[in-house]
Structure formats: C-alpha cells, structure tokens
Amino acid sequence: MSVARVRMARLGADVSALGFGCASLGSRISAGNGLAALERAWDAGISWYDVAPSYGDGEAEGLLGRFFAGKPRDAFQIVTKVGIPPSPPSLKQRIARPVLRVALEVAPGLRAAIRRRRPPPTKPPIDAAMIPVSVESSLRRLGVDHVDVLALHEAKPDEVVRDDVLEALTRVIRAGKVKVAAIASSPEAAAAGLAAAPDLYGMIQTAGNPFLPAADPGLAADRVTHSAYGNDGGPARLAAMIESDGELRAAFAAAGYDADFARAAKDFLADYAFAANAGGVVIMSMFHPGHLADNLARHARPRDDAAILRLGAMVRSRAG
C-alpha cells in the first residue's frame, strides 16, 4: 500500500502525507533496524523525513545520510532543525543501549518510564551564530547540499522574532542551503513567528493530539504535526477516559470505534491527527513493520474529519 500525497505550497512540492520521524534512529532503534525501517517506508512511498542534530543521541542525521546515498535528491524531503545540539551518550549509556533495545522489544510499555528517566536535552538560546554552523554540520552528516526545511527547534516566541535570527535564516536560504524556514515549537512560538515574518517562515510543526496545545488553524503556513499518540501514554489515558465516562463511551460507539477501549483509543488518535492536518504532513512512528502498515491503512480509510474533530473537542474538554 502506498501513501497519499499532499501539496506543500511554500516548498512547491507534492510530498507524502505521512512523514517518517527519526527521533529514535540510532538510539532506541539500532542502525540496522533503522535502515531497514527507512527502506520499508521508502518502498511505501514515504518521501518526508523529519530529523534533528540531537535525534538518536546525535546519530540520526548520519544514518539518514547513509540511507539517502545514491537516491535522487528530488525524490525526498528532509526537515532538520537548529537549536538543540547533539549530545553523544556516555560510555555507560552506550554499553547499556543494546540491553535496553532488547528490553523494549520484549516490553514496549517500558518506553515511557525510560523516557522519563532520560535527562532533557540541553537547549541553549538560539542566536544568529548558531544557525549557519548547525546547517553546515547537518549537511555534512546528511551528505546533501541542501535541506528542504530548517526548523527552529523548541524555539521560544522571543527567539523566532529576533532580527539577528531572521537575518541568519534569510542568509542560509539565499545561499541555497535551505529551501524553507520553519518553526518546530509551541503554538505560541508559531503564531509569533508568522506574525513577525510571514514571508520568511513557510512552515510550522506542532503537536496533533487532543491532549496537547494546538496551533491556530488560521495561521497561513504549510503544516506538519507530530505526537499523534502523545508524549507519555496517550492511548492508555484515552482508553481509561472512554471506559470511565459513559457519555464519551457512547460517542465513540456512535462514531463506529471498536468496543475494545485500547483499540478505539489508538485508532481515534491516529484519525484525529489525520483530520486535524488533512492538508499537511503527519509525522508517525514507522520503525516497526506493523506500525507502518497500520498507519498506511488507517490513513487510507474514508473518514468524516468534521465528526472526528468534534469528538476530539469532546475529549479535550474532559482532559482538563
């Protein structure tokens, strides 16, 4: 099964409606398994690949570059970021990594607990000097002469509007290193950037999940969304809500969702991500063959986007 295409106007390109998120490439996911997953996604028609210098404990960009070597550059789109530098793992972490990978294969539920114990990545302030250095390093690791999108990673609202940052982004675009500048951060940062520099920022990347803050749908930019299942147990949280709330349970049943609450929650969160960003790219988990197949099949199903968004509003109102 191949994936549908959407138009990203500022890029001037038709791209896959599903994007491959590379956050775990090289860390939780080994190089071999990651490259195999990339190949499966490529064969399914996935053209959009989302990466960052910090992803995969600093390994993801290099592995993605290995995968793309020899492939026609106009057949794929790379989104990388600037703002969170790579942080190589300690010797202790490198030694423990193979054991953790096996443990997660056996008990995927451990993932949230392990994520909570990881220290947050270092996030220095974004400034003009950081941008060209980060771009050149990313291009070297990726083995390409340009990236399609460069996003300010977890940028604060005041950072996306600063003149020095805007000028640095303009320079890397004029140099042909980057096609489109973007903001991959909070809805507040996205709104601030587009208000200050609508001609520069052509894309925003925010969460697409009823439990997380959403960007204003009226913002004029190409859209990418992530975190369809949330950052920490979204499906389990929603399943518990459906089970305990008779009105919500009836609404899910009326919408045709499975009587199994866990299945209903997972299916709905995928549907919500697709409905909330029907004209853009939705970043999904694709490392496991079953996840790729499920995502492709779910995206291809006919759906009533308006009804899904109404159900999402109902979930959001009960989530607090």
> What is the spatial distance between Cα 77 and Cα 185, in angstroms, rounded to a whole number?
20
Task: Provide the pLDDT for residue 233.
Answer: 86
Task: Provide the pLDDT for residue 108.
Answer: 60
> What is the spatial distance between Cα 3 and Cα 94, in angstroms, rounded to a whole number?
36
Contact residues for 106 (Cβ-Cβ < 8 A; gap 6+): none
Task: Provide the pLDDT for residue 107.
Answer: 58
Task: Provide the pLDDT for residue 115.
Answer: 54
Nearest to 255 by CA among 314, 196, 319, 177: 314
The top-level CATH class assigned to 13-232+280-288 is: alpha beta
Task: Provide the pLDDT for residue 86.
Answer: 87
Greatest alpha-carbon pair distance for the chain in Å reads 58
Task: Provide the pLDDT for residue 298.
Answer: 96
> What is the spatial distance between Cα 249 and Cα 265, in angstroms, rounded to a whole number?
11
Q: Which positions of the chain have pLDDT values less than 70?
A: 1, 88-121
Task: Provide the pLDDT for residue 72.
Answer: 98
Strands 5-8 and 13-16, by their bridges, are antiparallel
Task: Provide the pLDDT for residue 94.
Answer: 56
Give me the chain's average pLDDT, please.
92
Query: Which token pair is 21?
Result: 């998120």
pTM (2 d.p.): 0.91
Please count the helices (runs of H) and the strands (runs of E) in the chain.
Answer: 12, 10
Asked if residues 174 and 206 have their Cβ atoms less than 8 Å apart, the reply is no
